[in-house]
């Protein structure tokens, strides 16, 4: 089986037909298997449940197989008359209607396993010139279980509600960021991690919901298990869960009405997982990985902005509100609503400039703060009274 070549989905489904005992596991057991292989944490180190041998598969390839198997398990255990491959494609078609830039161009042909392979590849694989491989694994792929939870909802109700996905991501954002804030001492790495995590979400609201609202909105056991594990993961990012973080996680487990042993097991598993696999998880090999991401991206963004400066400036002149907000960003910090407006309008502009298309790919929003940093250099000097010529 080669998940980087055409036909891998049919190969996996054929193998599963002979080794399908995992499909009859209860939800909690299967979730534990997803966690054990690293899928929940975005660091895939093996295939869920050891269904297939890892062999020489890369992390990207392991992630593809685990995502497919998670979809397959969900389809098998949720009443649905639509064949498996068709149902997953229908789910992503529904996502496409809500977020048209995500799978545009992939969903026009006849439904098939080949088509689903392209969709899954697009979902987990970000070009290395957009995001570093380390960051892709840690944040973007850690949110893939949102797709599984949303897919289950889609199968149960026949439609996928944008409100459900937005609610789930708002809950994750609120609680996980609170977990990071609970650290006794936060360094620049933690602050950068917060910004990167916020930018990796699919949907963004102007105002973040409160912790109490997030707890009240978390309904199912799977959602609670997932968010608890993500919180433990975020707390462990500096290689230790201190007393303040421990208090937060215990409180979260209590507020979720989970048995205390479940909370302790989550903390213990995260400690064990990252300690055991610290040499295999690229993110843990350097405390400066987030800064490296920004440094490398900064050079790329600078080159793109310079090469497209004339056309970009023409587009900016036609968007007077955006021009004003960009100029003000050099003198004050924009509000959340203003930042979102800048992001949305910039993405609209980038759609019209082919060489800037990377910014509308999944995760491309992570680079927008760097774009805003370089764009003021394009603006007339009247917009920057404190500008000093080199």
- Residue 20: is it exposed, middle or buried by C-beta count within 10 angstroms (0-12/13-18/19+)? middle
SS (H, E, C) 274-341: HHHCCCCCHHHHCCCHHHHHHHHHHHHHHHHHHHCHHHHHHHHHCCHHHHHHHHHCCCCCCCHHHHHH
Contact 342, 373 (CB under 8 A): no
Query: DSSP for 1-16?
Result: --TTSTTHHHHHHHHH
Q: How far is CA 342 from the centre of its chain?
A: 21
**DSSP annotation string for 134-165:** HHIIIIIGGGHHHHHHHHHHHHHHSS--HHHH
Contact assessment for residue 83 and residue 116, using Cβ atoms and an 8 Å cutoff: no
Residues 73, 362, 37, 195, CA torsion sign: negative
156 burial level (CB within 10 Å; 0-12, 13-18, 19+): exposed
Under a CB-based contact definition with an 8 Å cutoff, are residues 92 and 119 in contact? yes
Residue 99: how many other CB atoms lie within 10 Å:
14
Show pLDDT as tens, one digit a residue, over the chain (390 residues).
788 888 999 999 998 888 888 889 999 999 999 999 999 988 888 998 888 777 778 888 899 999 999 999 999 999 888 999 999 999 988 876 444 445 555 555 556 888 899 888 888 754 443 334 444 445 667 788 999 999 999 999 888 777 888 888 889 888 988 888 877 666 665 666 666 666 666 665 546 789 999 999 999 999 999 999 998 888 776 566 777 888 999 999 999 999 999 999 999 998 888 888 876 665 544 444 555 555 556 666 777 777 787 788 788 777 778 888 877 776 777 787 888 888 888 888 887 787 777 676 655 666 677 777 777 666 654 444 444 444
- Could you identify the residue written with the tokens 């790329």? 300
* Whether 238 contacts 182, CB under 8 Å: no
CA-based angle 329:140:369, to the nearest 5? 10
């Amino acid at each position: 089986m080669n998940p980087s070549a055409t036909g891998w989905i049919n190969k996996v489904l054929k193998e599963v037909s002979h080794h399908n005992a995992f499909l009859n596991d209860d939800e909690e057991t299967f979730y534990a298997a997803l966690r054990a292989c690293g899928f929940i944490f975005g660091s895939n180190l093996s295939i869920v449940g050891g269904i297939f041998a890892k062999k020489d598969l890369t992390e990207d390839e392991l992630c593809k197989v685990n995502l497919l198997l998670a979809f397959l398990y969900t389809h098998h255990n949720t009443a649905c008359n639509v064949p498996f491959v068709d149902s997953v494609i229908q789910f992503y078609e529904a996502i496409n209607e809500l977020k048209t830039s995500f799978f545009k161009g992939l969903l026009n042909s006849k439904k098939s396993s080949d088509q689903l392979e392209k969709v899954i590849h697009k979902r987990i694989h970000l070009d290395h010139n957009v995001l570093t491989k380390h960051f892709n694994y840690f944040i973007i792929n850690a949110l893939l279980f949102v797709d599984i939870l949303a897919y289950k909802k889609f199968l149960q109700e026949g439609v996928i509600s944008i409100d459900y996905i937005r609610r789930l991501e708002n809950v994750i954002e609120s609680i996980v960021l609170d977990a990071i804030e609970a650290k006794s001492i936060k360094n620049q790495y933690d602050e950068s991690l917060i910004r990167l995590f916020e930018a990796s979400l699919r949907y963004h609201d102007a105002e973040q919901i409160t912790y109490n609202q997030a707890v009240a909105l978390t309904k199912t056991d799977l959602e609670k298990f997932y968010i608890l594990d993500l919180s433990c993961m975020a707390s462990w990012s500096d290689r230790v869960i201190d007393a303040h973080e421990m208090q937060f996680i215990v409180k979260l487990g209590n507020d979720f009405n989970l048995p205390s042993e479940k909370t302790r097991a989550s903390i213990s598993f995260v400690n064990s997982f990252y300690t055991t696999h610290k040499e295999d998880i690229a993110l843990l090999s350097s405390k400066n990985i987030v800064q490296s991401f920004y440094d490398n991206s900064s050079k790329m963004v600078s080159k793109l902005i310079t090469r497209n400066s004339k056309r970009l400036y023409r587009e900016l002149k036609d968007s007077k509100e955006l021009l004003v907000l960009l100029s003000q960003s050099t003198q004050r910090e924009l509000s959340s609503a203003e930042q979102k407006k800048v992001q949305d309008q910039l993405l609209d502009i980038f759609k019209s400039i082919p060489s800037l298309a990377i910014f509308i790919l999944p995760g491309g929003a992570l680079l927008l703060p760097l774009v805003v940093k370089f764009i003021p250099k394009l603006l007339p000097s009247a917009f920057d009274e404190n500008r000093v010529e080199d």
